[in-house]
């Protein structure tokens, strides 16, 4: 009897608990969603113009309807333009930039194969980690934050390690370095190696010629220069990359990112019909298409030119304030994401917090190997303008005036 009494009490207690939990759900989820507007001048995501947001609010249609295939074909054309390639194996991964990085590595590399990673910031570190996870033999060449690699260093490492894949980050957004690409593709092919380039932070803001520079796999994200919401990741594969990928002995570890399935879904494999693979994020495709339309309207060369000019104007402004640029050599400065040496005597976190609080503006600190060393400002796509530079410079001046400075 006593035991039964205890059971009943316990049950009542459980019901009470669950009621409290349900009440909590109702309270939090019955509050309407509120999202502030903010100047997104960090390393990404950048601001999304209402034109692109509205495109993404169009009604959902099927992931296998003819209309979505047409939209996907348009996206393919836009990516080919942005990447300066005629690769038919061009598509967008249904995930953010990291999923494109995995898509590249998962498909191009088989367990036991050798991969060479040029590490001069966080993206190299992450590419190396991804390749290791799938059982590749990974070798790295490492440059200090802010540095990059010469062609000679690349050749030395290629001839030593004889990798099947070389990874280079074109826009190393953690350090602000724009890595020169000319000649590396040709070098890779001399050593029978595929050339994989991360252009998440650079594409559309700095010249990349996928075909001419003999890049075998190139990917980016939607949320940087393209000014679309994060969630899709353009990627393209050369004929040479496809030859290796489609003669693999093992299946890639991921079904979701398996290029043979993706190629069919995106109509890149020449087959007459498309087979259901996964449910493509159709509304994200709408906004990605719209962002590519914006790029086509401006013209790629004009976009490169604008990003460069605005960056130069910004850099001059920073230097005239007495701030130092983290990347010494001008030609190695990423025009999309600028790294500023963390101002001496200040706590960088106080600066970014002050600017967020007072100016409703995001700039950020370092990432990975650059934490504590830099402030990072991203002016990408529609955000790359002289007006925005003036806004950031004013915010920085204000922060340096109002934040604590040690007496040192």
Specify binding-site residues for substrate: 376
Cβ distance to a second copy smaller for residue 185 or 381: 381
CA-based R_g, the chain, Å: 24
Cβ distance to a second copy smaller for residue 24 or 344: 24
- DSSP 3-state assignment of 347? coil
How far, in whole angstroms, is CA 3 from its chain's centroid? 60
Provide, rounded to whole angstroms, the least separation between the CB of residue 81 and a second copy: 4
Cβ distance to a second copy smaller for residue 180 or 267: 267
Provide, rounded to whole angstroms, the least separation between the CB of residue 216 and a second copy: 20
Report the alpha-carbon distance of residue 158 to residue 190 in Å, rounded.
Answer: 10
- Six token digits for residue 339: 């790294």
Cβ distance to a second copy smaller for residue 166 or 226: 226
Cβ distance to a second copy smaller for residue 149 or 237: 237
What Cα–Cα distance (Å) separates residue 2 from each residue in 6, 7, 15? 6, 9, 20
Cβ distance to a second copy smaller for residue 73 or 150: 73
Q: Which helix (H) or strand (E) holds 377?
A: strand 374-378
Alpha helices in 56-165 (DSSP H): 66-83, 97-108, 122-133, 151-161
Provide, rounded to whole angstroms, the least separation between the CB of residue 407 and a second copy: 29
- Smallest Cα–Cα separation from 332: which of 172, 100, 139? 172
Provide, rounded to whole angstroms, the least separation between the CB of residue 215 and a second copy: 17
Q: What is the number of alpha carbons within 13 Å of residue 369 lying toward its C-beta?
A: 20
> Which residues carry a binding-site annotation?
376
The answer to whether the beta carbons of residues 371 and 311 sit under 8 Å apart is no
What are the backbone dihedrals phi and psi of residue 79, each rounded to the nearest 5 degrees, phi first? -65, -40
Provide, rounded to whole angstroms, the least separation between the CB of residue 323 and a second copy: 23
DSSP 41: -
- Six token digits for residue 131: 């390749």
Report the alpha-carbon distance of residue 362 to residue 42 in Å, rounded.
Answer: 5
Provide, rounded to whole angstroms, the least separation between the CB of residue 206 and a second copy: 19
Q: In what order do the strands lie in the sheet with 374-378?
A: 337-341, 374-378, 364-365
Provide, rounded to whole angstroms, the least separation between the CB of residue 307 and a second copy: 19
Q: What's the chain's length in residues?
A: 408
Cβ distance to a second copy smaller for residue 2 or 28: 28
């Amino acid at each position: 009897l006593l035991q039964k009494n205890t059971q009943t009490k316990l049950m009542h207690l459980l019901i009470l608990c669950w009621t409290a939990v349900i009440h909590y759900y109702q309270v939090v989820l019955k509050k309407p969603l509120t999202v502030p507007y903010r100047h997104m001048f960090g390393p990404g995501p950048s601001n999304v113009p209402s034109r692109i947001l509205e495109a993404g609010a169009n009604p959902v249609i099927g992931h296998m309807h003819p209309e979505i295939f047409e939209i996907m074909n348009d996206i393919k054309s836009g990516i080919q333009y942005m990447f300066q390639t005629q690769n038919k194996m061009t598509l967008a991964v249904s995930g953010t930039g990291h999923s494109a990085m995995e898509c590249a590595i998962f498909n191009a590399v088989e367990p036991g194969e050798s991969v060479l990673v040029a590490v001069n910031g966080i993206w190299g570190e992450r590419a190396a980690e991804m390749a290791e996870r799938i059982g590749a033999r990974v070798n790295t060449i490492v440059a200090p934050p802010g540095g990059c690699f010469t062609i000679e260093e690349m050749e030395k490492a290629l001839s030593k390690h004889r990798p099947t894949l070389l990874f280079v980050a074109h826009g190393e957004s953690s350090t602000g370095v724009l890595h020169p690409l000319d000649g590396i593709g040709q070098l890779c092919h001399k050593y029978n190696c595929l050339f994989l380039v991360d252009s998440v932070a650079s594409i559309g803001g700095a010249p990349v010629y996928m075909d001419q520079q003999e890049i075998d796999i190139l990917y980016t994200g939607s949320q940087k220069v393209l000014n679309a919401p994060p969630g899709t990741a353009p990627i393209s594969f050369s004929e040479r990359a496809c030859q290796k990928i489609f003669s693999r002995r093992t299946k890639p570890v991921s079904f979701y990112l398996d290029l043979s399935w993706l190629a069919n879904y995106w109509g890149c494999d020449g087959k007459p019909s498309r087979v259901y693979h996964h449910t493509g994020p159709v509304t994200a495709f709408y906004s990605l298409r719209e962002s590519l339309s914006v790029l086509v309207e401006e013209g790629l060369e004009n976009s490169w030119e604008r990003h460069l000019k605005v960056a130069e104007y910004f850099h001059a402004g920073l230097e005239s304030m007495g701030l130092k640029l983290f990347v010494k050599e001008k030609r190695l400065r990423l025009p999309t994401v600028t790294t500023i040496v963390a101002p001496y005597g200040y706590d960088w976190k106080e600066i970014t917090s002050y600017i967020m609080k007072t100016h409703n503006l995001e700039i950020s600190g370092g990432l990975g190997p650059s934490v504590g060393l830099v402030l990072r400002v991203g002016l990408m796509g529609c955000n790359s303008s002289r007006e925005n530079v003036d806004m950031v410079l004013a915010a920085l001046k204000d922060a340096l005036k109002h934040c604590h400075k040690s007496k040192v």
